[in-house]
Amino acid sequence: MESKKKVGKKIKWLLLVMLLLLAANPFTLSAGLNDYSLKKFSSQLPNVPLPPNTIEADYDARVGGLIGNGDNCDFRAAITYETELSEEEIRSHYRGLMAQGARGNGKVEIKVLFKETKWAPGPDKRYYEIYILDEGYSSGFDIRCA
């Protein structure tokens, strides 16, 4: 019969191995890789120079099956701003600006979306969003992308 000390040591090793296997499973690794890619991808937006008379109102970054259906992972980051500029002035400011793709390959366009609101921010103010979207990556085992 084994001593209690040896049994306790075996149980500790078994628990350690189980914990390592749980942490290194494909679901955890895929989600971690996609979260890292999203963080790198979305960190580019705050570095885009702002036009005058513009302040940040909201920020959002997501990874998952955002576009269409199927087994693919899409990355999207957006910042909403409040401004006094016209739509044409805003479009002109961002025209032609690009960002690095989510996994570092290729470039994506920085796009502008004007937002309709139910409340009035002011007589000469409007809300708009700049966003970057990179789509169609393999999901691996990340269930958010399924």
* Mean pLDDT (whole number) for 28-49: 93
User: What pLDDT does 102 receive?
Assistant: 95
What is the pLDDT confidence band of residue 120, given thresholds at 50, 70 and 90? low
- Mean pLDDT, the chain, rounded, equals 89
- Distance, in Å, from the CA atom of 112 to the CA atom of 128, rounded to the nearest integer, reads 7
Task: Give the structural domain span for 14.
Answer: 4-145
Q: Does the global pTM surpass 0.95?
A: no
Q: Which residues of 93-121 are buried (b: 16+ CB within 10 A; e: fewer)?
A: bbeeeebebbbeeeebebebeeeeeeeee
- Distance, in Å, from the CA atom of 94 to the CA atom of 110, rounded to the nearest integer, reads 7
* Mean pLDDT (whole number) for 111-115: 94
Q: Give tens-digit pLDDT for 59-97.
A: 999 999 998 877 899 999 999 999 999 999 999 999 999
What is the pLDDT confidence band of residue 43, given thresholds at 50, 70 and 90? very high
In this model, does residue 125 exceed pLDDT 70? yes
In this model, does residue 38 exceed pLDDT 90? yes
In this model, does residue 1 exceed pLDDT 60? no
Domain total in the chain: 1
* Mean pLDDT (whole number) for 2-18: 80
